[in-house]
Amino acid sequence: MTEENSPGAETGGVRYDVVDGGVALVRMSRPEYRNAQNSAMTYALDDAFYRAAADDRVKVIVLAGDGKHFSAGHDIGTPDRDIDKPFDRRATLWWDHSDKKGVASRYARESEVYLGMCRRWREIPKPTIAMVQGACVAGALMLAWSCDLVIASDDAFFADPTVRMGIPGVEYFAHPWQMGPRFAKEFLFLGERVDAAAAQRLGMINRVVPRAELESSVLDMAKRIAAMPQLGLALAKRAVNQCEDLMGLRDGMDSVFGLHHVAHAHNAEMGLDSLAGHDARSMRDAAGRR
Ligand code: ZN
């Protein structure tokens, strides 16, 4: 099925393949940790998306996760958690956070590996499809939401339990645009799981398919999109994204990123900080341990 799986394609817990029909398959591959994203993985995703964007053979990009779950969110406690490590390259112009403290560290890091990367991935001038099974929780929502389409299997569920940590939503704050303001509040206030059928009714995802048919359904759709004129697709994507920004997405996200960091600063000042700290267990429970 694959035309290419070149050396280095599996770095950082991410696999990259080009499938027949002009489709790139970017796979998170830490299934033993429910594809929790550490920084190594976000940089590897960034590399994979850059590669797919530059590859003329690739018309459509599919983002997937190996195993039972799409992703349980950001890495808040695996042995490979790398929140304090420096990385050689950066995606934004923010300084290296790893030798700074407080907001100078936290704001720079999250601007880089969370908000900055997700925004750039949303701007890739090729259609992107998130292929979601099992958990799509907290930081995983950011990945799905920055894709153009979301196809989920019937066992998928979605949740943002960050209010349990006193934080008003994940860094890529698209909630009111993804599900409407009314339900966005319920989603945040309760932090409970929303199943795939409900997510589709809310307009957060495009289609729900049986688990066994997820990959074939997504690849079939991806190949049909890939057959469309490439510039037309790029311009159509840009058109909808521009209108979404005119509906306030970008400015809203910027303003809420400040609130998000007020909450991080409060937690640090009150001694509540550390994502590995007081509420990590409830976060992990919400993320799909069952
Ligand atoms: Zn944060």
pLDDT in tens, 11-67: 789 999 999 899 999 999 999 989 998 888 999 999 999 999 999 999 999 999 999
What contacts 24+ positions apart, CB below 8 Å, involve 233-242? 233/59, 233/126, 233/127, 234/125, 234/126, 237/125, 237/126, 237/127, 237/148, 238/125, 240/148, 241/122, 241/123
Measure 274 CA to ligand 1 centroid, in angstroms: 10
CA of 261 to the centre of ligand 1 (A): 7
Asked whether the CA dihedral 70, 62, 131, 136 is positive or negative, the reply is positive
How far, in Å, CA of 184 to CA of 263, rounded?
Answer: 18
115-130: pLDDT as tens digits: 999 999 999 999 999 9
Do residues 44 and 14 lie in contact, with contact meaning Cβ atoms separated by under 8 Å? yes
How far apart are the CA of 111 and the centre of ligand 1, in A? 9
Q: Tell me the CA–centroid distance for residue 2 and ligand 1, in Å.
A: 37
What pTM, to 2 d.p., does this model score? 0.91
